Amino acid sequence: MERVVRHFQEELETLKQRLLAMGGLAEERTRVAVQGVVDRDHEAIQAVLTGDEPINDLHIEVDDRCFKLLALHQPMAADLRAIVAAVKINTDLERVGDLAVNVAEAGKRYLQHPPVKPLIDIPRMGDIAQVMLRDALDAFVRRDLALAEAVLQKDDELDALKTQIFRELLTYMLQDPSTIEPALDLLLISRHLERIGDHATNIAEDVIFMVSARDVRHQPLEAHGPGGRG
């Protein structure tokens, strides 16, 4: 029994590390896509367009790990909640990977036109979205409620930037119709980055639910069970 428990904790640790690796990839691909648009770097954008296989592979691997942990170890309470959170986080990270591709797609179209304006707020949105993603995953691994709550605060910054970008681009479009088409792609990029922030928010909410519910529900479950694992 002791060996099974240790094995379970090792597997759970590996699961967390795989989610961190996936988050790192998602973050890096977002960074490269946005930087590619800012630097008008076609190669960088092309790399994002064609390179989502590693994240998709991890998506399948993590799903499989979660299923095996549930099926073979039948975890209870906090461990069960961590694995259910991992299932959800895995879905969010896979979609962040898709959104990085969406940024690159819109970016590729954008580069077919002369620049509408120097890009300042879009890379700022990209930076915030990346930090949110990293903090949300760190909060998951460390069960850090305060960090998860800080992620939720950051989402307001992202929304404010999105609104500001919208107003600014609308002004350009109204003044000069030749900017309409490229400005639409910049608007799309800002929406995609906002959605990456939304996924980070989802992850942070899952962490809060996971940690809080453990606090609330741990007591009655422990009273029935054979004692905690940690």
173 binds a copy of itself (CB under 8 A): yes
C-alpha 230/C-alpha 227 separation (Å) is 9
66 binds a copy of itself (CB under 8 A): yes
67 binds a copy of itself (CB under 8 A): yes
Residue with smaller CB distance to a copy of itself, 44 or 121: 121
Minimum CB distance to a copy of itself, residue 181 (Å): 7
Q: 131 CB contacts (<8 Å, ≥6 apart)?
A: 154
The rounded radius of gyration (Å) of the Cα atoms in the chain is 20
Nearest-10 Cα torsion for 44, 46, 47, 53: 150
Minimum CB distance to a copy of itself, residue 223 (Å): 14
| H-assigned helices in the chain | 2-38, 42-50, 53-73, 77-110, 121-142, 145-175, 180-224
Site stretch for a copy of itself (CB under 8 A), options 11-19, 59-67, 136-144, 146-154: 59-67
The interface with a copy of itself within residues 205-224 (CB under 8 A) comprises 209, 221
Residue with smaller CB distance to a copy of itself, 4 or 174: 174
User: What is the residue type of 94?
Assistant: E
- Return phi, psi of residue 26, to 5°: -60, -40
Buried b or exposed e, range 50-60, using 16+ CB within 10 angstroms:
ebbeebeebbe
**Binding flags for a copy of itself, 96-135, as an x/- string (CB under 8 A):** ----------------------------------------
Q: Which residues bind a copy of itself (CB under 8 A)?
A: 63, 66-67, 70-71, 74, 76-77, 80-81, 84, 87-88, 91, 170, 173-174, 177, 180-181, 184, 187, 191, 202, 209, 221
